[in-house]
Amino acid sequence: MNKSPKGRAPLIGVLAMQGAFVEHLRALEAAGAKTRLVRTREDIEGLDGIVIPGGESTTMTMLMERVGLLGPLREAIAGGLATLATCAGMIVLAKDITDGMADQQGLGLLDVRVRRNGYGRQVDSFEVPLRIEGMNGHEFPGVFIRSPLVERAGRVDVVATYDGHPVAVRQDRILALCFHPELTDDLRLHREFIRMAASGGPR
């Protein structure tokens, strides 16, 4: 875990195994962060935070395991590395996956149970305004594309819900979302994550 010196933009890594990592890079840079693609264990060194993007959770974990990144990333996040996980990223982090593959590996750090594609297939994608804690009542555009459904929230703070289910949760220095903030022009959640990463500790 690193604390950014005053006046230095935090360095945020974006896991680039597969999925929507380019969109996160653009949003983070527009919000004032420095960025780095993360594809090896060495890429974790010196980061203030990391984003685990949307994509295909089983493919991401398989590729991380193949290059020896899964264990080091788990250790870094468990040790306090600020983490933003979106859509499939939440599945990768989850302790329990209702419909996971028999041999599916994950990070197992976020105390939730999720169901993959719980909001439907690609054709069922939708956008809905969300009220997120800390945003002074201003709604955020929640873009749901093959998103996971949170079936159980354990030792987490629920910061947004939709249709009676959590869609945004915080646990220590992890912010996990069922939706895709990187597919909107609204940078507030990326800015919030950058502040979390720069703080060097939980808010």
Active site residues: 87, 180, 182
Q: Give CA 153 to chain center in angstroms.
A: 16
Residues 61 and 8: their CA atoms lie apart, in Å, by: 32
Q: CB pairs under 8 A, 24+ apart, for 129-136?
A: 130/160, 130/162, 130/167, 130/168, 130/179, 131/160, 132/159, 132/160, 132/168, 132/189, 133/159, 133/160, 134/159, 134/192, 135/188
- Torsion sign over Cα 58, 77, 131, 34: negative
Distance from C-alpha of 65 to C-alpha of 61, rounded to nearest angstrom: 6
3-state percent helix, strand, coil for the chain, nearest multiple of 5: 30, 30, 40
DSSP H/E element including 88:
helix 88-93
